[in-house]
């Protein structure tokens, strides 16, 4: 059953709009998420960041944790927390694992340990010098080692289908691919 809370959020939605009004609806925690088709059509996420200079503390609405960001000293930061660009690569790695776990469940594949590494090359001419161009990642490489119960190694058709589905269904993978970055991935099927 899908249940949403109104009270405090409803009063926020009536005040300052940080997002378009069509998105201003109560968030639910994962514990309240339902298996029904209606409840799984969209996952609302809201964050808010506050800070000074290059330091920012980010709250994820409805969650007890906070995310800290800073940046590299060469960009004027203190390097006291991961930078937003580091978090973007971390998001790719962790979303790959989460999505892969969802896909594996759908396809009755048993998974064990994951080892996910992400590398990126970020040109800085636009960001640092203000030159014209695209400040996006130039290239990003995703390398995944995952234990599965698929016996045919990394070239097994069932494993290749699993990889294809994980990459197709991962919102962060698609964000990188559709942004035009030169994206590559290598997946290795490791035995238990």
Digit-coded pLDDT (tens) for 2-34: 222 333 333 333 333 444 434 444 444 443 444
Whole-number pLDDT of residue 2: 21
User: What confidence tier does 186 reach under pLDDT thresholds 50, 70, 90?
Assistant: very high
Superfamily of domain 84-190, CATH level 4: K homology (KH) domain (3.30.300.20)
- Give the pLDDT confidence of 35-93 residue by residue, as tens digits: 556 666 898 999 999 999 999 999 999 999 999 999 999 899 999 999 999 999 999 99
CB 123 within 8 A of CB 131: no
pTM of the model: 0.79
- Give how far the C-alpha of residue 118 lies from the chain's centroid of Cα atoms, to the nearest Å: 13
CB 146 within 8 A of CB 113: yes
Every domain of the chain and the residues it spans: 1-44, 45-82, 84-190
- Give how far the C-alpha of residue 30 lies from the chain's centroid of Cα atoms, to the nearest Å: 16
């Amino acid at each position: 059953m899908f249940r949403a809370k109104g009270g405090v959020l409803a009063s926020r939605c009536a005040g300052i709009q940080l997002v378009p009004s069509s998105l201003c609806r109560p968030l639910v925690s994962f514990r309240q998420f339902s298996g029904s088709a209606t409840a799984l059509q969209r996952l609302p996420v809201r964050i808010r960041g506050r800070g000074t200079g290059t330091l920012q503390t980010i709250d994820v609405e409805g969650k007890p944790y906070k995310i800290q960001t800073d940046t590299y000293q060469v960009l004027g930061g203190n390097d006291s927390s991961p930078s937003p660009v580091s978090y973007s690569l971390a998001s790719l790695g962790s979303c790959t694992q989460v999505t892969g776990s969802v896909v594996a469940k759908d396809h009755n594949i048993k998974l064990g340990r994951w080892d996910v590494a992400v590398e990126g090359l970020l040109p800085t001419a636009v960001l640092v010098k203000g030159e014209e161009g695209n400040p996006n990642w130039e290239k990003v490489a995703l390398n995944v080692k995952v234990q599965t119960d698929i016996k045919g190694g990394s070239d097994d058709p069932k494993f290749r289908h699993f990889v294809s589905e994980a990459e197709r269904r991962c919102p962060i993978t698609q964000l990188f691919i559709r942004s035009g970055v030169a994206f590559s991935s290598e997946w290795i099927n490791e035995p238990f």
